[in-house]
Amino acid sequence: MRSKIVAGNWKMNKKFDEADELLYQISEELSNNPLKDVQLVVCPPSLYLELATDFAESSDLKIGAQNVSHQKSGAYTGELSVEMLNSVDVEYCIIGHSERRKYFSESSEMLAQKVDNLLEFGIEPIFCIGEQLDDREAGNHFDLVKKQLSEGLFHLSASEFSNIVVAYEPVWAIGTGVTASPKQAQEMHAFIRGVISEKYGSDIAEETTIIYGGSCNAKNAKELFSNKDVDGGLIGGASLIAKDFINIANSF
Ligand code: PGA
């Protein structure tokens, strides 16, 4: 059975004290009401990763980074390497989020390089794909998603691919309050699983966790997660409130 994952992407939010408080609240909620069959992941700003992995030591929480350099080490001012993430026990890393593709011009080659570096250190990439509204309106959304998937990931061997979490995030739903309908989400998740199956076979496709992101919240999570190919969520805004985040994780 493939794993279910709910991951919180804090983006560029929370000062140190607030981050500390939110991590405390999430850990408390988790120890009072342990989750069943779902892995909770928090992806705070990199400045708080070590703080977060300290919290995670005594709870079921796992910690992810929001980004990592495609370079391995050296003179790259301002960057963080995979080795550094590994040295503070980070276990996941979001790769190819649409905000990074858009504002930081991250190319597919760069993303593929990041994925390779992460896998070398045993960190699981949460690899984001998703179309713009224009693509969907023009009917190009399936082609686009397939292209992102193949350019970023299909150089991997089958055993490497089995460590990937795919996040489908339609860009028009991110931070907009407009969520993909459960039908749209299921349709695209099933398509993604089909593309993975063509490349790696049905066993690997069935084992791949595919999560949904884009204005997923405590109110709509249940309906989204009830679809057979939706294995959880990548949550932005709603992951900044401990109760909402935990409620989402309890929505299966
Ligand atoms: P949102 O963000 O839940 O605030 O729409 C999701 C994401 O960008 O991962």
Kindly report the backbone phi and psi dihedral angles of residue 88, in degrees, each rounded to the nearest multiple of 5, phi listed first: -115, 25
* pTM for the whole structure: 0.98
How far is CA 107 from its chain centroid? 18
Residue 169 is a catalytic residue: yes
Residue type at position 187: E
41-34-177 Cα angle (round to 5): 50
5-249 architecture in CATH? Alpha-Beta Barrel (3.20)
Nearest atom of ligand 1 to the alpha carbon of 9: 9
Query: Could you tell me if the CB of 174 is within 6 A of ligand 1?
Result: yes
Q: Give yes or no for residue 8 CB within 6 A of ligand 1.
A: no
Q: Is there a contact between 54 and 79 (Cβ–Cβ < 8 Å)?
A: no
Q: Does an H or E element contain 133, and which? A: helix 133-137
**Test site for ligand 1: of 13, 174, 176, most ligand atoms within 8 A of the Cβ:** 174
* CA–centroid distance, residue 213 to ligand 1 (Å): 6
* pLDDT by position in tens, the chain (length 252): 899 999 999 999 999 999 999 999 999 999 988 998 999 999 999 999 999 999 999 889 999 999 999 999 999 999 999 999 999 999 999 999 999 999 999 999 999 999 999 999 999 999 999 999 999 999 999 999 999 999 999 999 999 999 999 999 999 999 999 999 999 999 999 999 999 999 999 999 999 999 999 999 999 999 999 999 999 999 999 999 999 999 999 999
Burial letters 25-39, b for 16+ CB under 10 A, else e: ebbebbeeeebeebb
Q: What phi, psi does 147 have (nearest 5°)?
A: -65, -45
Q: Is 175 in the pocket of ligand 1 (CB under 6 A)?
A: yes
Tracing tokens 């028009």 back to the chain, one arrives at: 172
Tell me, using a 6 A CB cutoff, whether residue 95 lines ligand 1: no
Integer Cα distance of 143 and 149 in angstroms = 10
Confirm or reject: Cβ of 125 under 6 Å from ligand 1.
Answer: no
Which of 217, 252, 243 shows the shortest CA–CA distance to 33?
243
146 C-alpha to ligand 1 centroid (Å): 21
User: Residues 97, 106, 141, 189: which is the catalytic one?
Assistant: 97
Show the tokens assigned to 131: 């179309």
Q: How far is CA 89 from the centre of its chain?
A: 17
- Does the active-site annotation cover 83? no
Q: How far does Cα 144 stand from its chain's mean position?
A: 19
8 forms beta bridges with 42, 235
Sign of the Cα torsion 208, 190, 93, 26 reads negative
Q: Is 9 helix (H, G, I), strand (E, B) or coil?
A: strand
Burial class (CB in 10 A: 0-12, 13-18, 19+), 153: buried
What DSSP assignment string belongs to 182-227? HHHHHHHHHHHHHHHHHHH-HHHHHH-EEEEESS--TTTHHHHHTS
